Amino acid sequence: MVGKRLRFESKNPTEFVDITDRLRDEVRWSGLQIGRVHLQSLHTTLGIAINENEPLLLRDFERLLERLAPVGAGYQHDDFARRFDIALDEPENGHAHCRQLLLTGFATLLVEDGELVLGRWQSVFAVELDGPRHRQLAIQLDGQFGPPRAKGAGSTELVDLELSRQLMVDPEPVSAPMRRLVEAGGKRLRPTLVQLTAGVGPRTEPLRAASLAAAVELLHNATLIHDDYVDESTHRRGRPTVAAAEGPERAVAVGDYYFAKATRLIAEIGNRSVTSTIAEALEAICASQIDDVALRGAFPGDHDSYLRVVRGKTAALFAAACASGALLSEASPEIVDALRRYGDLVGVAFQMTDDMVDFSPSSGKPVGLDIRQRVLSLPLIYAAEDREVGPEVRRLLAGTLGDEEVGRVAELVTTSGALERVKGEAHALVDAAVHELETIELDGLRPILISLARSAVDRNA
Amino acid sequence: MSAVNVVTRELERLEGLWEDGLSDAYRSYLDAVGRFETADQPRLALAAALIEVGVRLQGLGSRAAAAPTLLMGDLCLARSSRLLADAAPQPVQVAFARAIEEMSSAAASERPAPPTRDLLLRAFEAR
């Protein structure tokens, strides 16, 4: 059973709001295969109807309601002198209550093969009788569920289209290297988080969400291009880095271009809270990069320094992606804050898992790349602190790191139990992230966000 | 909060740059921000100065800086972006981003870019 609220705003005093497509989406996102969708109006002047969406017919219905219960026809409900405990802004709406009595306040729709069962001409309407207002319907989906389709299903394509569109209009010297990087893949976790959280609040606009998600992905890739130059990395996602392929000067320019372009695209969305959220994250990323490089002098560092750097370098953009999507959808501050904390925790857990992947022979990457590049890594920190293998790990890390030394350090890390310790810590962070979701209304998104958090740590590549 | 306090607070981790051209750039941009709210003027002038100094540190359009210096330049651009998000009207935010796009596109194409200061002063005029 999945329960949630379907929210919308009516624009007119009487209005037939067609909610059929939204209900179809809810069924698809929930994974309900066979069962029922129960709908219930949460208002006394909002009805539910199933009928044909033909504009002239809807006008006929409105006229019928007007004839049966005209406005201002001497309703006792509108005689405020005879009523108790009425609000200062109580409207004269006896007609709307009476009209609602002629409709219904609840409905049950059938679902088969993962789709709503509706006749060719049938549409489902929420019928506003006293608008314009903010409205909500309670819905419950009940039956046999299959795997849910992500709420962004179809919208990942939107982000890819938006990325392609943006890269198409850019000058070739900057767009070609970025296109290679974008097309090489990547997990697209940050844009996915933007799109998911952009469906949490009352204002759902897939195109704006896709635009923000694409900008966040461009920003992330821009930081990677500079990172690769700083880390002297030769490959990323199986392809030569921009710095390695085209030189550091090009890498600096391409990174700057897409940093600027992404911030422009975000500014053009026109939501100041979103712009500030992303800008703060970017600042945290850059500050942490400086700390990261500085800490290489004290390699492998300690747990506190590690967390401080990872919170900025990785988790800041995860948190900002979650918060900015929610802000775009005009979610409440409590929801935005909870999602921000969720993103922060998932981001740290994601980085810890990335650190472990460096020691996995099945990752598709050479084992020990982080050791060779002296990159901050929690398994290394734990192995260096270990009573048994620590002295040897520290001695090896203090010297020149050739193939033999890297192999030996990787072996010591693997045998020390450091990987299990990091894995436990990453899973605990995901549990904490899931806990953040328990206190807020997420409009049915909770299972997908939980699944995404788990997938961030249950991987070996 | 006084302009001095604003600038001091926003220079965290970048203090060393103040005597290395940032203060001169800041003062020159102060003349261009008169049309904005008084409280926003120091942040806007500092944002422009940080871009000017940031791209110079990075070596944009010339020889790429060594890693630690590049990262300082990145932090200058990021700080500037946050200051603009906090204090600039949307058209000015967009104009500043376009100015950096123009500079970096020219650098990637190995052609000369217009002088940074001219580009940024023009960005303040966006409405």
Distance from C-alpha of A241 to C-alpha of A251, rounded to nearest angstrom: 9
Please state the rounded mean pLDDT for residues B15-36. 95
Q: Which residues in chain B are contacts of A285 at CB distance < 8 A?
A: 78
Contact criterion met (CB below 8 Å) for A90 and A77: no
Query: From CA A261, how far away is CA A229, in angstroms rounded?
Result: 20
d(CA A216, CA A66): 50
Distance CA B125, CA A395 (A): 59
Q: How many CB atoms lie within 10 A of CB A278?
A: 30
Quote the CA–CA distance of A298 and A13 in Å, as a whole number: 68
Q: Please say whether the beta carbons of A405 and A332 come within 8 A.
A: no
Round to whole Å and give the CA distance between A138 and A443.
Answer: 10
**How far off is chain A from B39, nearest CA to CA, in Å?**
18
| Weakest mean pLDDT among A141-155, A272-286, B6-20, B58-72 | A141-155
Tokens 């938006």 belong to which residue? A162
Q: Mean per-residue pLDDT for A146-157?
A: 59
Task: Give the pLDDT score at A327.
Answer: 98
Q: How many CB pairs under 8 A join A and B?
A: 131
Q: Is the pLDDT of residue A461 over 90?
A: no
Residue A264: its chain B contacts at CB < 8 A? 93-94, 97-98, 101
What is the per-residue pLDDT across A317-348, written as a single tens digit (0 to 9) for each?
A: 999 999 999 999 999 999 999 999 999 999 99
A35 DSSP β-pair partners: A111, A143
Question: Residues A178-224: pLDDT tens digits?
Answer: 999 998 888 889 999 999 999 899 898 889 999 999 999 999 999 99
* Domain total in chain B: 1
Nearest CA in chain B to A260: B97
Q: CB distance A263–B81 less than 8 Å?
A: yes
The neighbouring-strand residues paired with A104 are A48
Check pLDDT > 90 for residue A229. Answer: yes
Task: Evaluate whether ipTM surpasses 0.90.
Answer: yes
Q: Considering only CB atoms, which chain B residues are within 8 Å of A229?
A: 64, 67, 70
What is the identity of the amino acid at A24?
A: R
> Which pLDDT band, with edges at 50, 70 and 90, does B2 fall under?
confident
Residue range A17-26, pLDDT digits in tens: 999 988 988 8
Cβ contacts of B110 on chain A, cutoff 8 Å? 173
Q: Which of residues 1-30 of B touch A (CB under 8 A)?
A: 13
Which of A148-162, A226-240, B77-91 comes out lowest in average pLDDT? Answer: A148-162
Give, in order, the Cα–Cα distances in Å from A330 to each of A155, A200, A323, A324, A335: 19, 8, 10, 10, 10
* pLDDT band with cut points at 50, 70 and 90 for residue A412: very high
Mean pLDDT estimate for chain A: 91
Residue A460 has pLDDT above 90, yes or no: no
pLDDT tens by residue, A41-91: 999 999 999 999 998 999 999 999 999 999 999 999 999 888 888 887 888
pLDDT value at residue A153: 43
Domains defined for chain A, CATH in brackets: 2-145 (2.60.120.460), 155-457 (1.10.600.10)
pLDDT one-digit tens code per residue, A125-139: 999 999 999 999 999
A54 SS3 class: coil
Element (H, E) at A8: strand A2-9
Q: Is B89 on the interface with A (CB under 8 A)?
A: no
CA distance B34 to chain A (A): 22
Query: Average pLDDT in the A236-260 region?
Result: 95
pLDDT at A145: 75
Domain that holds residue B27: 3-123
Percentage of residues in chain A having pLDDT higher than 90: 70
Q: Quick check: A171 and B84 CB within 8 A? A: no
The strand pairing partners of A393, in sequence order, are: none
* Mean pLDDT, rounded, for B30-53: 97
Separation between Cα atoms, residue B91 and residue A122, nearest integer Å: 46
- Tokens representing residue A161 in the block: 């289209």
Distance CA A170, CA A175 (A): 6
End-to-end CA distance of chain B: 26
The residue type of A202 is P
Distances in Å between the Cα of A439 and the Cα atoms of A433, A443, A446 are 11, 12, 11
Which residue bears the tokens 């199933």? A50
Q: Find out whether the peptide bond into A300 is cis, omega within 30 degrees of 0.
A: yes
Average the pLDDT over A390-405 and give the result: 93
Question: What are φ and ψ of residue A186, in 5° steps?
Answer: 100, 160
Per-residue pLDDT tens for A274-302?
A: 999 999 999 999 999 999 999 887 888 89
DSSP one-letter code for B124: T
CA distance A220 to chain B (A): 13
Contacts A273 to B, Cβ<8 Å: none
Of A257, A259, A268, the CB nearest to B108: A257
Q: How confident is the model at residue A364 (pLDDT cuts 50, 70, 90)?
A: low
